[in-house]
Structure formats: C-alpha cells, structure tokens
Structure 1
Amino acid sequence: MRTRFLLCLPLLALVGCETVQTTQGGAVGVDREQRMFSALSSAEVDKMAAESYNKMLAEARSKKVLNTDAAMVQRLRRISNDLIPQVTHFRQDARSWNWEVNLIKSDQINASCAPGGKIIFYSGIITQLKLTDDEIAQIMGHEIAHALREHGREAISRAYVTQTGTQLAGALLGLGQAGQQAASQAVQVGLTLPNSRSNESEADLIGLELAARAGYKPEAAVSLWQKMASASQGQPPEFLSTHPNSGGRIQALQAAIPRVQPLYNAAK
C-alpha cells in the first residue's frame, strides 16, 4: 500500500500545475524549473502579500514599534538601494516593483521580503547577532531572492497540490482516516520539506550573488550563518526542517564564493 501511494505522488503533483522559470540562472546557476498552480497568478499573490504586509505595518505602528530607530532604518535602506538595482540580473521586471524597507523593533531574529518587494527587518536580528553591513546585505539578498523566485507562490501551489493529492490518493487507494493521516505525513516529509529546503538553498545562492554585485563581501555569507548557527541551537534536524542545516549551508556557500568573487571585485 505504501509503495502504491508513493508511486501515485508524481502523477498527483501534476494536477493543475504548469512549469515556469521565474528567473535567469545568474552566475550561481539557479535554474531549477518550478511548478506553479496555473490558476494562481503572480499578481494575485502580490496582492495578498501586500495586504498582509500592510496589516503587519499597521499593527507595528499601533504598538509604536515601526521604524523607531532612524539610524538603523537609514542603514537598511542604504543597503537596499545597493542591492535592488542588481535584481535585473535575475529578472528585469523586478526593478520596477514598488520596493519598501521597514524595521520593526523586536527581539525576533528574523527578516523577510514579501512578493512584490516588501522588505521587513526585525531589530533583533541586527542587534543580537551584531551584524555588519556585509552580513545584512547577505540576509537582505537572501530574502529578496525568495521574492524574485516567487517561492511564496510556489509554496501556495505546493500546499494546494499536497492537499488535493492526499485526498485523491486516499480515495484511489481506499485509505481510512488513519491511512489519510499517514499519507498526509508522507507528503509532508517526502515533498513539502525537501522542496522548502531547496528554496532556501536557492535564496542563499542568489542572495550571495546580489550582495557581491552590490559590492558586499561574499565571505560575509559564511560569518553570517556561523552566527545564525550559534543563535539557533536546539533546532530540529535537517530532515524535519524547512532550512538546510548550518554546516551544509556554509559548505555550499563556500563552494559558490569563487563564482561571485569576480563580480565583487568588479563592483569594488
């Protein structure tokens, strides 16, 4: 039964999806073909993301934690002004997105870039990790890369396929409630998590190139994730995590640095 279910998954994953290429590969060679739910457009995802982003800003504003540190906000926006022009090396249309950069005062070690170019940093990631400008550029480039590659749209598409696939598999194979739960867990571990880790690895590489092209030291990617590793002790193992483990991540970045070093040298 388990073998039959797993054999069904590749067929179920094709339901309602189309193959797209959101970005060019760049010097780092990110050229994986992506599968998106065909009824969900980039514009629709951007609209949903903008609504969520504005709600987050309104909540932070009401709590008086939005952009309270003028010097830190200026620092982030200066770095973003260096990085954003580089996005055309991966996709031309992204240069005209309505980019925003905002800061929320919080101890959270977190940052994000929503579809359409909406960047948020939490102050804790800068203060607790004592980040340099080069390290901030690596984080910002990583988050921008998620938006360029439309990983959010891809995740929504994957969730749709996962839910639909599990239901179809249960019906096709005659699974009861317990079997449906086991099937759902198999989809989560076998499809969702590895794909999410793939997205994180892509964002690492594209972020590395964006930062290098903007004149930020590539080796800062290594020191950044070393700091992240120290701050994230006790996290789940790579097998059950949406992020690559720190050791593998650092090795992959170190291997990619020679590809972007000439871009950094030219920028300087």
Structure 2
Amino acid sequence: MAQTEYATVHLVGAGPGDPDLLTVRAARLIGEAAVIVHDGLVSDEILALADPGAERISVAKQRDRHSLPQDQINALLVRLAQSGRSVVRLKGGDPFIFGRGGEELEACRAAGVPVEVVPGISAAIGSAAQAQLPLTHRDASSAVSFVAGQCKGLADQDWSGLAGKGRTLVIYMGVATAADIADKLIADGVSPATPIAVLENGTRTDMRTLRSLLADLGHLMVREQVKSPALIVVGEVAAYALALDVLAGWSAGAENGAEIIL
C-alpha cells in the first residue's frame, strides 16, 4: 500500500472530562471518525459524540494493569491507518502531557502514517479552573511544574527545586504514592505547613476539592478515600482553592505550621 493511501491518525485531547471543554476541532473529528481508540478516562458523554456506526476500541490503562501494552497500542494505530480508516486516538487531558502521545506520534511517523495533533485542556488546567485555584498568582507563584507521581526511583528524585515559596507543583498520578511524595518533599526542605489541594475527578459532576497541608497529605488520601483520577497541587496557591478544608485547626492563613493538628 502506498503511503498516500494511509489515513491520518488524529491524536486528540479529550480534556479532563467535561464535554463542554472539548475544542471545536476535537468535537468535529470525534463525530467524523470511523474508529476511535480511547483511554479509560474519556467520559461517556464525550464518546457519545461519535458516529453511531464508529468502532470504539478501549485501551484503558490503570495502575499496574493495561488492556494493551503501549507498543501494541502504537501498532494498532498504524494498522488502522494503513487500512484506510479515519482514526481518532482520544486521550484524556492533552496528548502531550503524561499522555504518551509522543510515543504514538513517533510510531506513526516511523511507519509513514500521517499524524495530526489536536491539543486538549490538560487535567491540571481544567481541574484548577473548576476549583478556582490559580496555578500562578502575582503574590504567590511565578513558576509551575508538572510531575508524575508514579515515576521509578521516587525516593531518588530531588524535589527541592520544584516546590517551595513562589512555586507551584502539580502532581499527576500521585494518589498511591502521596505519603512518600510528602515525606520526600519535606526531606528536601519544603515546609510541612505548605498548603496543598487535592483535585479529584476534575471538571466532572462528582469533582471534589480538598485543602490541607503537606504534612497531612498521606493521611488525607486515606481518610477521605481519594480515588484516581486526582491531582495534587502543592504551593501557596492551593490556599486560594474553593474547597473543603479537611485538616482540623487549619485555615488558609495558617503560618509556620503552628496550626497543624495530625
């Protein structure tokens, strides 16, 4: 088959869940696709925008369990495009922020398959907006870092330059490792009294936003039974979130850890 006969693979960001946050282009491509290869975090409301005759293939990933390994997902996208069918690879958030979109892009390029990337509102941007939590603020933060909480060698990571005064740290996929992350941040010099916010099910109807302090992060996850998908925001801006305070004795104005009660 000549390269000119290959269909285009569209790597489309589905945003954090609310279908109203899709780009116009994303919504159009979803409705036109012959095949939609989607993540588990893509909401039913967004999948409902697909043509009723479109084939839907779930490649949902959960912690320690993938329906398809990444290399097989890559091969699937190439195979579908080579068959001449229009393909939308629908990914939660933005394809290039912890979405492994770069790997899928490389696989398609290597096979001579044309690719288009359609950005989506990332989980961090969408969830923070819903919680009214400014990731940057002239009085509180001039830098933002996005990190993955399930990275290998977590204890070896140097977190000291990522969090602290004037900085915001957003942690994806950190529910299971939250206690270890908090311990490592504190060991690397971040104050235990640093405000944190946990944004669960961002932008969806069942979203929860919880505020506490870094020293309480691990306990909060257990006490509140936080489930994925959830983001952890560490920094002074977390105190701005429209949220439930879940640590007794703490308020947004707590200073120097004096009001931490664990």
What is the TM-score with the length of structure 1 in the denominator? 0.23
- Structure having the larger proportion of residues in helix: 1
Structure (1 or 2) with the greater strand fraction: 2
TM score, norm. by length of structure 2: 0.23
